[in-house]
Structures are given as C-alpha cells and as structure tokens.
Amino acid sequence: MNASMSALGKLVRTTAFKLSLAYLLIFTIFAFVGLGYVAWNAQRLLTNQFVSTIESEINSLSDQYRFGGLRRLVNIVERRSRAPGAMLYLVTTEAGERVAGNVGALPPGVIGRTGQFETLYNRTDETEARPDMAIVRVYLLPGGFRLLVGRDIEESRRLQEVIYRAFGYSLLFIVVLGCVGGWFITRRVLKRVDDMTEITRHIMAGDLGGRLTIAGTGDELDRLAQNLNDMLDRMGELMRGMQEVSDNIAHDLKTPLTRLRNKADEALRTASTPDELKSALEATIEESDNLIRIFNALLMIARLEAGNARDALADFDAAEAVRDVAELYDALAEEAGVSLDVSVEDDLPIHGSRELLGQAMANLLDNALKYGASTGAPQAISVSAQRNGGEVRIVVADRGPGIPEAERGRVLERFVRLETARSRPGFGLGLSLAAAVARLHGGSLLLEDNEPGLRVVLALPLKAIELPQAPLQSAA
Amino acid sequence: MRILIIEDDKEAASYLVKAFREAGHVADHAADGLDGYALAEEGDYDVLVVDRMLPKLDGLSLIRSLREQRVETPVLILSALGQVDDRVKGLRAGGDDYLPKPYAFSELLARVEVLSRRRASTPTTEPTVYRIADLELDRLSHRVTRSGQEIVLQPREFRLLEYLMKNANQVVTRTMLLEHVWDYHFDPQTNVIDVHVSRLRAKIDKGFDKPLIHTIRGAGYMVRVGQEGDEE
C-alpha cells in the first residue's frame, strides 16, 4: 500500500505527468468552448426559424379573418390542422372555449396570455396523456376571438439533448484518453529514467564498466544517455591514466627510495671511519636530490596539463629562445665531440613561455646528446626552427639509433624508458615534459625518423596577426 | 650577516637557523607572518628568508607591506608551490630572489650571501671595472685583461665572468649562473654550466700561476685569490 502510494506520488511529481495534465486541461477547455458554441448556435437558429414561421402564419391567418370572417378562418385552420406535419393551431372564444384547431388540452390560463412563450400541450388526435413542449404565440383577433399558433419543439429539444450527450461523451473520451495516454507516456519515460538512475547508482557504487542503455530512438533521453556514457568513458580513461601514473610513480620512486634507505642502513652498519660515513652521507644526499628532481618534473608536468601555467604566458621570439638554448648546449656538445648545427629563421613570434620552451628544448638536447650516439659514424645533432604555415617547427634531430615506430607513442608517457636507455641516467620524464609544454602552447610534439636517428618536432602555433575584433558567430 | 627566517615549519626553521649559524651568520626565527613582519621592521637584518605560506599573514602580503613601509631589506622567497608563474608573482610582490622547495642548503646559502652583498652596492655605486688580483673586467668597454694582456671572450663568456666577478669571494651556484647569464630558471640537469665555466677557465687561468676561478664542491663556483679546492 505504502509502496504503491509512493509510486503514485513519484508519478504525480514527474514532468511527463504534469505536462499531460496541462494538455488535458487545455484540450478539455477547447472542446467545451467549441461544442458549446455549436450547440448554442444550433438552438438559436432553430428558435429564430420557429419564431418567424409562427409570425408569418399568424399574419396570414389574421388577414384571412379580416377578409373572410370567423368562418373562413375556421375552415383554413381546420384544413391546415389536418395536413401532415402540421403546426399547432387553436381558435377560441374570448372565454377560452375551443372553436377549431388541433390543440387539445392546454395548461389552465395559457390561452388567456398573449405574446410568445413556451408551454406544454396535447394534440386533439393524441390519446396518450403525456404532453409535449411547444413554442406558441397567442394573437387577439378583433371581435374577441383568440388565435394560437405554435410549433412543437420536442424535436429540437431532442436534438439539443443529442448534442449535449455528444458533448458529454466527447469530454469523457478526451479525459480518459488523455489520462491513459499521459499515464503510458509518463510510465515509459519514468521507466527509462528509473533505469538510468539504477545504472548510475551501480556505477557510483563502483561498477565503473556499467553503461546506460541506448533505446535507439534518438530522442532527448537517448542523447542524454549517450552524453553520460561518453562522460563515463572519459572519466574511466582519466582514472586509468591516474592509476597508471600513480603505479609508475610508486614504482619509480620506490626504487631510489629503497636505494637511499639501503645506503644509509649499510653505512650505519659497516662504516667505521668518519671518511666512510661522510661519503655514504654524500651518496644519500645525491639520491635525495634525484628524488627531488623527479618530484619537480612530475609536479611541473601535472601543472602544465592542468593548464595552471596559462597566466604566465607572454609574447616572445622563439628564434631567440631556440638560439639561446642551442648556445647553452653548444659547449657541452663540443666537449662530447658532437657537432651541433643550428639553423634558425629570424623573427618567430609566439605566445607562450620562453622559460618552458627553454626547458623543453633543454630536455630534447639532453636526450639527443645522451642517446644520439651511434657506433662508427661521427655524432651530429641539428637544431632548426622554421616557419611552416601558421606554425613554427622546431626540430631537434640526431643520428643515433632512433626510436622504433611502434614505441614512439609510448615514450611520450611518463616514466617510459626504452630498454636500451635503462643503463643511462634519466627518469623517463624529459619527453613527457616537452610534450606537455607543446600542448600548453596549443601545439604538438612529433617523433619522426631521421633515417637514421630521431627527429623530434615541436610544432607551435605562431602568434596570430592582430585582426580587428570580429564577433565569432558572424558567419551564421 | 644577520638573517631573519620567517617559516612556520618548526623543524625546517631550526634546521635553517642551525645551518646559517654554522656558516658563521646570525640567524633569528619568526614562526608566523605577523611576528616576522614586526621583527623585520624593527631589526636590522641583511636578508629575510620568507616562506610563502605562513599563518596570520602570508609571505607575499608580508613582503608587500614591508616594501610599502620602505623596508628595503633583500628578501628571498621560499615556496613549496611549483614553477613558472609563482616566481613571477613572488618577484612582483617585492621579493628579490625565489627558491622553490625542496632546495639544497648550499644553494640557499649562496643566494642569501649574494643578496646581502647586493644591499651594500646599489647600481650607482657598482664599479665600472671589476678587479681580482691581476684580472680586470671593464663593463663599459667590454674588455678583459689579465696582467695587462687582453683576453678575447664571447659575449656569453663575458657575461659569465662579469657575474662571477661581481660576486667575487662568494659562492655562485649553477642555477644562479643559468638564471643570470642565460635567464633560464630550470634545473640544469646535465653539466651544461660546468662546460661553459671550464671553457672560461681555460681562457682566464691557463698559463697563469694563480687560478682565479675555483670549483666549490657540492655548491658551485667562486672567483677569488686562493688555492684551488681549499674549501668545500
């Protein structure tokens, strides 16, 4: 009982129910006004017709009386009374005694009145006692005689009844159909919404694989369900990404942390001279510094990806920034016996962070120096920055072993290092950071084959030429 | 040198006080923004080390208020907040230097010492010629000579030597060099700076008895007259 009450309550509270109710009300009012107007008009038309017929009949009969006297009037009345479908006629004396006509009994006092009115009557040829309704007019003839002419309105009353009944039935029909239809629609909508609620509750409870069912009707509920599903997919992706990152962080931080702990532990147990203790402490500090670096890089990537650095962006010349970093690394390359070729086009204005671009470039050059060596051939790194349509392409290319095509997507992820790179120092964050910097600038980081070697392309949008401000939707 | 440390983390603060005292400085500590403000306004400090996030009065507001009161003591901001725009905000508030946490104490010490020296020399009193022993650097004519012999330097090498000589007898870290000579604030992970310094050293010290550019282990570089590696 309680459950059905609350189910009813829920039904009543739904939008579909309220809408059905509102439409039902509107249609009922329309039907009421429409049918009422028809009935009233039909009634009025009939009555007018009766009245004018009675009027002309009285006129013609009183003329006959005036020309032919009572005898002529009685003759005509008797004749017309007998005609099929005759109107009602009655001629009486001044006292009300019947002289001619087809009207029998009349309620007392009726014949004494004059003018037009409705009354009950009985025909002379009728045997049953049930009186009918008529509209009549009583005319006072010169000489004291009274003439009553009337018309049976029982028929029109019946017509009126039929109209009113139709009226009632159609109202009932509208209300029932509206209620049933509304109930069905409401129930259907409510069921789908209930299903959606149920599924979302499951998802909230931890079943992240669950998805809303699409009915395939393409209606707004389907669109909503589709959007919710897309949102769930995106959330799932983000959560998997976070899971992966935290797994990686846990793994990559655990390794140096364990090493740090072991070193300290070992020094405590085995070191006997102050010198040994000192060098052990220095080693632990070095390990902590590495940890700090990893943390800083991770934090920076996270902030870049959250878009937190957008406020710090300004206009600057990418050409100069690239030259600066290349110059910074020039000495290091020379020391390592690597030739560093720099070819930078002049004047490449971009909107962004010189600092971050510098850091990204430094990472790319670090990588090129670290991994760009190949056995046999003399090592060479080339750095270039060129205008290409609406963007500037900054390229750092080496002649090393490169990165196999299948691995290129993966190395941009955090902490991913190729097996061949494991033996060298590094954390696997350099390319991730460079990619994050590219995204912050609205650009992208591409890894290509330098045949042989790796070509890293930082494609960043050039600063747009200032155009007069135009509304965005002007094309519409 | 008198240093005021405004830092709410007790452990970090006592570590800093102890470390600065061991380095031969006088260090005081304030645990919140209001105490720090009062001490900084009254006390005659050479450098303020201010944490960005402080109870009662945050670091940046504290610096702004001090600058409004015409207290021009150099300020180094310590911040656990990340990079990029935080540094700009800190310097805009009136800070003179900015060091993200976590940091190495040697880095902090070097920066604080450089800041305290800056207080003594305003741009107008800054000499146009730096001299260390027989090495001379003329900032106007961009000429460098040692024992009267001209040494030809690349523009970047000149700026590197200029910064080292400006802060002669003080430790200059690698990040400080990257900041002031290349205007980048990231952590130079490889030995990019070392290579530039050793190139400069080859031009300045090669063929002379007394080396002037010294490597300070675990910290950075220093230009001074003295024995190589006698300080760590």
Where, residue-wise, is CATH 1.10.287.130 in chain A?
A: 220-304
Supply A33's token pair.
């006004």
Q: Is the peptide bond before A378 cis (omega within 30 degrees of 0)?
A: no
Q: Which residues from chain A sit within 8 angstroms of residue B101, using beta carbons?
A: none
Q: At A471, is the pLDDT very low, low, confident or very high (cuts 50, 70, 90)?
A: very low
Where, residue-wise, is CATH 1.10.10.10 in chain B?
A: 129-223
Question: Rounded to whole angstroms, how far apart are CA atoms B97 and B207?
Answer: 37
3-class SS of residue B27? strand
Residue A382 clears pLDDT 60, i.e. is over it: yes
Q: At A205, is the pLDDT very low, low, confident or very high (cuts 50, 70, 90)?
A: confident
> Domain B129-223 adopts which CATH fold?
Arc Repressor Mutant, subunit A (1.10.10)
Tell me, yes or no, if the pTM score tops 0.95.
Answer: no
Tell which B residues from 95 to 134 touch A, by Cβ distance under 8 Å. Answer: 100, 102, 104
Where, residue-wise, is CATH 3.30.450 in chain A?
A: 16-158
Q: According to the model, what pLDDT value does residue A472 have?
A: 46
CA distance B186 to chain A (A): 6
Residue A307 clears pLDDT 70, i.e. is over it: no
Question: Rounded to whole angstroms, how far apart are CA atoms A362 and A328?
Answer: 9
- As a whole number, mean pLDDT of residues A316-345 equals 88
Q: Is the peptide bond before B102 cis (omega within 30 degrees of 0)?
A: yes
Q: According to the model, what pLDDT value does residue B230 have?
A: 44
Q: According to the model, what pLDDT value does residue B207 have?
A: 81
- As a whole number, mean pLDDT of residues A48-53 equals 88
Q: According to the model, what pLDDT value does residue A476 have?
A: 37
Question: Rounded to whole angstroms, how far apart are CA atoms A473 and B18?
Answer: 64
Instruction: Test B84 with A335 for CB contact under 8 angstroms.
Output: no
The H or E element containing residue B195 is helix B192-205
Q: According to the model, what pLDDT value does residue A274 have?
A: 85
Q: According to the model, what pLDDT value does residue A377 have?
A: 63
Q: According to the model, what pLDDT value does residue A225 have?
A: 85
Q: Say which residue, B69 or A304, is predicted with more confidence.
A: B69
Rg (CA), chain B: 19
CA dihedral B187, B192, B194, B196 (to 10 degrees): -130
Residue A190 clears pLDDT 60, i.e. is over it: yes
Phi, psi (degrees; rounded to nearest 5) at A138: -110, 125
Q: According to the model, what pLDDT value does residue A470 have?
A: 46
Query: Touching check for A451 and chain B: CB below 8 Å?
Result: no
Architecture of domain A311-461 in CATH?
2-Layer Sandwich (3.30)
Of B99, B111, B104, the residue nearest A292 (C-alpha): B104
Question: Rounded to whole angstroms, how far apart are CA atoms A59 and A393?
Answer: 110
Q: According to the model, what pLDDT value does residue A2 have?
A: 59
Q: At A473, is the pLDDT very low, low, confident or very high (cuts 50, 70, 90)?
A: very low
Q: According to the model, what pLDDT value does residue A111 have?
A: 77
Phi, psi (degrees; rounded to nearest 5) at A206: 125, -10
CA distance A301 to chain B (A): 10
* Of the options 1.10.1040.10, 3.40.50.2300, 3.90.870.10, 3.30.1520.10, the CATH number for the domain spanning B2-120: 3.40.50.2300
CA dihedral B176, B177, B179, B185 (to 10 degrees): -70
Reported as a single tens digit per residue, the pLDDT across A423-436 is 555 666 778 888 88
Reported as a single tens digit per residue, the pLDDT across B163-207 is 999 888 888 988 889 988 988 887 776 788 888 999 898 888 888
Of A217, A171, A221, A170, the residue nearest A193 (C-alpha): A221
Residue A467 clears pLDDT 80, i.e. is over it: no
Instruction: Test B189 with A299 for CB contact under 8 angstroms.
Output: no
Q: How far lies A409's CA from each of A291, A368, A435, in Å?
A: 26, 18, 11
Question: Rounded to whole angstroms, how far apart are CA atoms A355 and A304?
Answer: 13
Asked if A401 contacts A371 with a C-beta cutoff of 8 angstroms, the reply is yes
Query: Touching check for A332 and chain B: CB below 8 Å?
Result: yes
Chain A to chain B, count of Cβ pairs less than 8 Å apart? 67
Query: Touching check for A89 and chain B: CB below 8 Å?
Result: no
Question: Of the given ranges (A183-187, A387-391, A454-458, A463-467), which has the lowest mean pLDDT?
Answer: A463-467
Q: Which residue of B has its CA nearest to A370?
A: B190
Q: Which residues of A245-259 are buried (b: 16+ CB within 10 A; e: fewer)?
A: beebeeebbeeeeee
Phi, psi (degrees; rounded to nearest 5) at A470: -125, 140
Which among A289, A331, A359 has CB closest to B195? A331
DSSP annotation of B229: T
Question: Rounded to whole angstroms, how far apart are CA atoms B42 and B30?
Answer: 13
Q: According to the model, what pLDDT value does residue B161 have?
A: 92
**What are the contacts of A33-39 at 24+ separation with CB within 8 A?**
A35/A163, A35/A166, A35/A167, A35/A170, A36/A167, A38/A163, A39/A160, A39/A163, A39/A164, A39/A167
Q: Which residues from chain A sit within 8 angstroms of residue B200, using beta carbons?
A: none
Residue A468 clears pLDDT 60, i.e. is over it: no
The hierarchical CATH code for the domain A220-304 is 1.10.287.130
Asked if B177 contacts B160 with a C-beta cutoff of 8 angstroms, the reply is yes
Residue A122 clears pLDDT 60, i.e. is over it: yes
Q: How many CA atoms lie within 13 A of A214 on its CB side?
A: 14
The hierarchical CATH code for the domain A16-158 is 3.30.450
Asked if A94 contacts A146 with a C-beta cutoff of 8 angstroms, the reply is yes
Question: Rounded to whole angstroms, how far apart are CA atoms B139 and B124?
Answer: 13
Where, residue-wise, is CATH 3.30.565.10 in chain A?
A: 311-461
Which residues of chain B carry a pLDDT beneath 50? 228-232
- The contacts of residue B128 (CB under 8 Å, 6+ apart) are B138, B139, B140
Question: Rounded to whole angstroms, how far apart are CA atoms A296 and B204?
Answer: 36
* ipTM for this prediction: 0.81
Question: Rounded to whole angstroms, how far apart are CA atoms A343 and A360?
Answer: 18
Of B66, B72, B36, B67, the residue nearest B51 (C-alpha): B36
Q: Which residues from chain A sit within 8 angstroms of residue B104, using beta carbons?
A: 285, 289
Tell which B residues from 53 to 92 touch A, by Cβ distance under 8 Å. Answer: 82-85, 88
Query: Touching check for A291 and chain B: CB below 8 Å?
Result: no
Q: How far lies A201's CA from each of A189, A207, A293, in Å?
A: 18, 9, 42
Q: Which residues from chain B sit within 8 angstroms of residue A293, using beta carbons?
A: 187, 189
Q: Say which residue, A312 or A340, is predicted with more confidence.
A: A340
CA distance B215 to chain A (A): 17
Rg (CA), chain A: 51
Q: How far lies B117's CA from each of A354, B22, B133, in Å?
A: 29, 19, 20
Asked if B50 contacts B59 with a C-beta cutoff of 8 angstroms, the reply is yes
Q: What is the 3-state secondary structure (H, E, C) of A277-288?
A: HHHHHHHHHHHH
Question: Rounded to whole angstroms, how far apart are CA atoms B1 and B45?
Answer: 8
Which position has the token pair 């069921």? A191
Query: Touching check for A317 and chain B: CB below 8 Å?
Result: no
Sheet holding B97-100, edge to edge: B26-30, B2-6, B47-51, B75-79, B97-100
* Amino acid type, A220: E
Of B135, B209, B122, the residue nearest B168 (C-alpha): B135
Where, residue-wise, is CATH 3.40.50.2300 in chain B?
A: 2-120
